[in-house]
Amino acid sequence: MESLLGNIVILLGVSILILCIFHKFEVPSVLGFLVTGMLLGPYGLGLVGGTQGVEVLAELGVIFLLFTIGVELSLKELWEIKKTVLAGGALQVLVTILLVFLLCTQLGFSRAASVFIGFLISLSSTAIVLKILQEKSEVYSPHGRTSLAILIFQDIIIVPMILVTPLLAGVSEELAGSFSTLLLKGVGIILLVIISARYLVPRLLYFVARTHSRELFLLSVIFICLSTALLTSSAGLSLALGAFLAGLVISESEYSQQTVAHITPFKDIFMSFFFVSIGMLLDVQYFLEKPHIFILIALTVIFLKALAGATATFLLGYPLRTTLLTGLALSQVGEFSFVLSKFGLEFNLLAESTYQTFLAVSILTMGITPFVINGSPRAADLLLRRVSSTKLVNGLYSNGLHSGSVKNEVGEELQLNDHLIILGFGLNGRTVSRAAKAAGIPYIIIEINPETVRQEKAKGERIYYGDATYEAVLEHAEIGAARTLVIGISDPAATRKSVEMAKRLNPGIHIIARTRYLREMEPLHALGAEEVIPEEYETSIEVFVRLLEKYLIPGEDIEKFVDEVRADGYGMLRKLSDGKTVNFNIRKDLPGIEIIVIRVKEGSEIAGKNLLDMELRKKHEVTVLSIRRDSDMIHTPDGCTLIQANDVCILLGKPRKLHDARRFFE
């Protein structure tokens, strides 16, 4: 016990030091844990003695990882993006397996081993890719969404891969019997999972939740996870599969979010031990003997995976730039490959030398991933300059944006002159198009998602497929005759390129660009965008406005504050104009007095009368402080002010008097 505790202390201490160094250079933490294992393991400094205890902790990490993936897997959300997840993910995995299989069989590997190595190479790192995309604000960009969908499929396909691995290792004559036995066991466990998800687990967690005991809830969740994992293991299946199924059971209940909150710290801790244990298994001396060979293999893997990912994305209909960015984002070997490789060793599908090569190559591909993703836009632009095929550049589903005019679904010609161009049909694009339609403004939408284009075009929307970072697409939308361009896409690099190109093609066009973060404003203004609206700052302004309203700051001061912030280009958050803080508490400074806001209903007694006639202050001791009428504000109404239906009145008085006065308004 003391030996295990000593090993854990050493691992945690060195991990903290290495992670601090890696964080400074923006290297993913996964690599920090791998390097820690390489440094402390038997092939490194040998500071950690027996690794059996660490491997047990690593096994728990795998169990909790699969469990949380099952819990976070919303079948409803998956259904909404089913085409990209299923078609894109399946294509990427199958193409990668096929390419690796052909290469490995030529190198002398058996067919079973070649397929299994294809399994290992086909999986990418969800942790690393999503972290980098989040830092670059590109999770919701076209290549970010596509990468995420394919990664989700990979997270799911690991379970069937684990299931199939024993069959790959089986002797041919035993294959049929093994498969039938495994199938029966699988069906039985799935039925048990369905029954548990429908009847047992929700009731159990309901009774546990009623106790309001965090400890009891946590113990119950861990019990469900480990007991299901033990059940599948005793049936001849893997612990990881059981944990995944346990997560699926809870995912369909109302307790899934609370479960994730409780389990995530355990998963993170034990997964760190898992990556450390993988690093311990790497023979550093073996790698240093032929580093050039491993680097060459790693570059080959990156090329094959980038090709497979780009092929899958292109077949989904995305333009060439998106396919290249997606392929390069998915070009590394992922953490689940390490999980799966353990089964390969167990069933003798991997020789020790092959396993060492796999570890070295995988760590190299993960280490180079940040540089690959950060450099991918420049690489994509460089390649696109050499491609002349319009169909290849714009994607398989590129359709006719015709110069001069565009025909809508009923054949009516829409003259593209002095019109509005909307880039992107997300929430912002939909809102702008509805406003343009209501105002009678001619507009055209350019969207990069072929599925969205197909659906909206069927509804009669003026939407066309294309990548607005290409000059031809903007020209076909008659950018030269357009008055305004509204950019609502989530790809910062594509937004900057679209602004630059639009200004070059039409210097007089007015560009309104939406961006997620304040730091992106200056580059867009420098490229020529007249108005840049940062979501990050607009949200903070709205929150602060509501806060000021809650503290009864005068409306004109609030409006002045907002105008000053926006007029300064969101440069800084200023104080109110007088520089003083209004510390006023109505309950403390005016005891027994309250303020209410009430709307004048149609047919109410006060509608159509002035304040003098109603004598609210004289007879009922209620004062009308202000009146909001549509967008206008009457701050100091006098006795001659006429009250109209739908006016919003702010009343001051004692609670009882205010309650009695409500009848005049209602």
DSSP 579: -
Residue with tokens 């632009």: 381
Residue 37 has pLDDT above 80, yes or no: yes
Out of 254-268, 276-290, 647-661, which region has the weakest mean confidence (pLDDT)? 254-268
pLDDT of residue 574: 33
Strand partners, 486: 422, 512
Asked if 403 and 476 count as a contact pair (C-beta separation under 8 A), the reply is yes
**Token match 């041919």: residue?**
172
DSSP code, position 642: B
Q: What span, in angstroms and rounded, lies between the C-alpha atoms of 542 and 562?
A: 9
**Three-state SS at 400:** coil
Q: Using the predicted structure, report yes or no on whether residue 579 has a pLDDT greater than 60.
A: no
Kindly indicate the confidence band of residue 81, based on its pLDDT and cuts at 50, 70 and 90: low
Closest CA to 78 of 153, 161, 159, 157: 153
Q: What is the mean pLDDT of residues 152-176?
A: 73
Indicate if the pLDDT at residue 585 is higher than 60: no
Residue 531's pLDDT is 85
pLDDT given at position 296 = 95
What percent of the chain clears pLDDT 70, i.e. is strictly above it? Answer: 84
Radius of gyration of the chain (CA): 31
Residues 6+ apart with CB under 8 A from 444: 406, 414, 416, 419, 420, 421, 422, 462, 463, 464, 477
Helix (H, G, I), strand (E, B) or coil at 27: coil
Where is average pLDDT lowest: 192-206, 325-339, 459-473, 539-553?
A: 539-553
Q: For residue range 399-442, what is the model confidence (pLDDT) as tens digits?
A: 544 333 444 433 344 456 788 999 989 878 888 888 888 777 88
How much is the average pLDDT of 258-265?
Answer: 79
Span 2-378: which CATH code? 1.20.1530.20
Cβ neighbours, 10 Å, residue 180: 10
Nearest to 380 by CA among 451, 299, 309, 288: 309
Instruction: Check if the beta carbon of residue 453 is closer than 8 Å to that of residue 465.
Output: yes
- Please choose, from the candidates 295, 298, 281, 267, the residue with its C-alpha nearest in 3D space to the C-alpha of residue 342: 281
Is pLDDT at 7 greater than 60 in this prediction?
Answer: yes
Residue 99: per-residue pLDDT: 95
Q: How far apart are CA 337 and CA 348, in angstroms?
A: 16
pLDDT of residue 328: 95
Nearest to 475 by CA among 404, 532, 420, 408: 404
Domain ranges of the chain: 2-378, 397-515, 586-665
Q: What tokens were used for 358?
A: 């796999």
Taking residue 403's Cβ as centre, other Cβ atoms within 10 Å add up to 11
Please state, in angstroms and rounded to a whole number, the distance separating the CA atoms of residues 569 and 572: 8
Q: Is it the case that residue 51 has pLDDT exceeding 90? A: no
> Which among 411, 405, 497 is positioned nearest to 448, based on CA atoms?
497
Which residues lie below 8 Å from residue 28, measured CB to CB, with a gap of 6+? 22, 127, 128, 131, 132, 366, 369, 370
pLDDT above 80 (res 235): no
**Nearest of 303, 192, 282, 272 to residue 237 by alpha carbon:** 192
Q: Across residues 623-649, what is the average pLDDT?
A: 85
Contact indicator for 323, 394 with CB cutoff of 8 Å: no
Residues in Cβ contact with 250 at an 8 Å cutoff, skipping those fewer than 6 apart: 70, 71, 201, 205, 221, 224, 256, 259
487, 424 contact by CB (below 8 A): yes
Per-residue b or e along 133-145, where b marks 16 or more CB atoms closer than 10 Å to that residue's CB: beebbbbebbbbb
Closest C-alpha among 505, 425, 423 to residue 472: 505
CA count, 13 A, side-chain hemisphere, 36 = 28
Residue 101 has pLDDT above 90, yes or no: yes
pLDDT-based confidence at 587, cuts 50/70/90? Answer: low
Which tens digit of pLDDT belongs to each residue from 359-394?
A: 899 988 988 888 899 889 888 888 887 877 767 777
CB 182 within 8 A of CB 232: no
Q: Which residue has the tokens 């546990």?
A: 208
Q: Which of 150-154, 231-235, 278-282 has the lowest mean pLDDT?
A: 231-235
- Residue 649 scores a pLDDT above 50: yes
Which of 44, 51, 14, 30 minimizes the C-alpha distance to 287? 44
Token pair in block for residue 386: 């050499």
Strand duo 510-515 + 594-599: pairing:
unpaired
Homologous superfamily, domain 586-665:
Regulator of K+ conductance, C-terminal domain (3.30.70.1450)
Would you say 270 and 57 are in contact if contact means Cβ atoms under 8 Å apart?
yes
Categorize the per-residue pLDDT at 238 as very low, low, confident or very high, splitting at 50, 70 and 90.
low
CA distance 509 to 495: 15
**562-to-261, 519, 535, 559 alpha-carbon distances in Å:** 37, 19, 15, 5
| Domain 397-515 of CATH type 3.20.20.70 | no
Task: Give residue-wise pLDDT tens across range 176-224.
Answer: 455 567 667 767 776 776 677 667 888 888 888 888 888 898 888 888 8
User: In this predicted structure, what is the pLDDT of residue 177?
Assistant: 54
The count of other CB atoms within 10 Å of the CB of residue 9 is: 10
Angle (CA) 507 513 516, round 5°: 150
What phi and psi values does residue 397 have, to the nearest 5 degrees? -100, 20
Residue 327 reports pLDDT greater than 90? yes
Q: What is the rounded distance in angstroms from the CA atom of residue 562 to the CA atom of residue 549? A: 13
Classify 601 in phi/psi space as left (phi over 0), alpha (psi -120 to 50) or beta. beta
